[in-house]
Amino acid sequence: MKIDALSPDRPVLIAGPTASGKSALALEIAEAQGGRIINADALQVYEGWRILTARPGPEDEARAPHALYGHVPFEAEYSVGAWLRDVTPLLTGGPRPIIVGGTGLYFRALTEGLAEVPESPPEVRAEADQIPFPQLLAELDGADPVLASRIDRQNRARVQRGWEVWRATGRPLSDWQAETPPPALPLDVTQPLLTDADTDWLNARIAQRFDRMLADAVLDEARANLPRWPHAGGARKAIGAPELIAFLKDELSLEDAREAAIIATRQYAKRQRTWFRARMGAWQALAYP
């Protein structure tokens, strides 16, 4: 796209699947027009996985201001609500925000608002973890049919979150969501861009990028994280992390770990594209290549 078609005064949002060129576009815009690049990727918030999650490197960070990358401890959990609290002060009083990432829920919370739902107590989460998924789904159907009808019914995390809120508060999650406050950054005051790509092109880029990671010492990064892997929080969800750890523990060959990580990344990209296409029809689509 032509950078000069963008207003240098309005915030820019850049969403898209992994490996689709979002970070490069954000940097190009920041260098041409100014602005601070703010992370909206739930995997790039964790320290410890700079290479594996394709976080901007020191050279890129020297070219433009960056924020909310690698600021969450490896052992911690991090929620959409926590990200929204962290990003809100960066929206005013500083450089024009250029918000880039692959986590659709972050963008939805930013532009549509986020209900203030209490966190699940540890004992409720532990109880939910022991319930077979079919039972969990059936109980959610009875407790919160509104939520159950509109979420991904194959996604245990979404189903379990709804169950936990009902179990902990006695109120359906859909009731909490109905009390959503105004958005911190309404979509109509932004310039929303959605990167997308031909499947074959994107799959090839994913494989090439992972091979570059192997060449760039991602195994050293994984080896450094190995001692604390049993205590990993949200950093455990980094795509490719379980496979690299399995290789270091002699549970997979490097070839098998590489193949499994690439497959997992491609599957992740497919889920992202499906989510974006269903919910971001108002965004300007940028097709690659």
Exposed, middle or buried, 129 (CB in 10 Å: 0-12/13-18/19+)? exposed
CB atoms within 10 A of CB 180: 14
pLDDT tens digit string along 203-220? 999 999 999 999 999 999
- Residue 287 is predicted with a pLDDT of 86
For residue 52, pLDDT over 80 is answered with yes
pLDDT tens digit string along 237-255? 999 999 999 999 999 999 9
Q: Residue type at 242? A: P
Question: Could you give the CA distance from residue 214 to residue 34 in angstroms, rounded to a whole number?
Answer: 33
Evaluate whether 100 touches 60 at the Cβ level (below 8 Å): no
For residue 289, pLDDT over 90 is answered with no
Overall residue count recorded for the chain in this entry: 289
pLDDT tens digit string along 69-116? 999 999 999 999 999 999 999 999 999 999 999 999 999 999 999 988
Evaluate whether 240 touches 265 at the Cβ level (below 8 Å): yes
- Where do the domains of the chain lie, and which CATH numbers do they carry? 1-114+180-289 (3.40.50.300), 122-177 (1.10.20.140)
pTM over 0.85: yes
| Average pLDDT of the chain to the nearest whole number | 96
Question: Could you give the CA distance from residue 20 to residue 117 in angstroms, rounded to a whole number?
Answer: 33
- Residue 274 is predicted with a pLDDT of 93
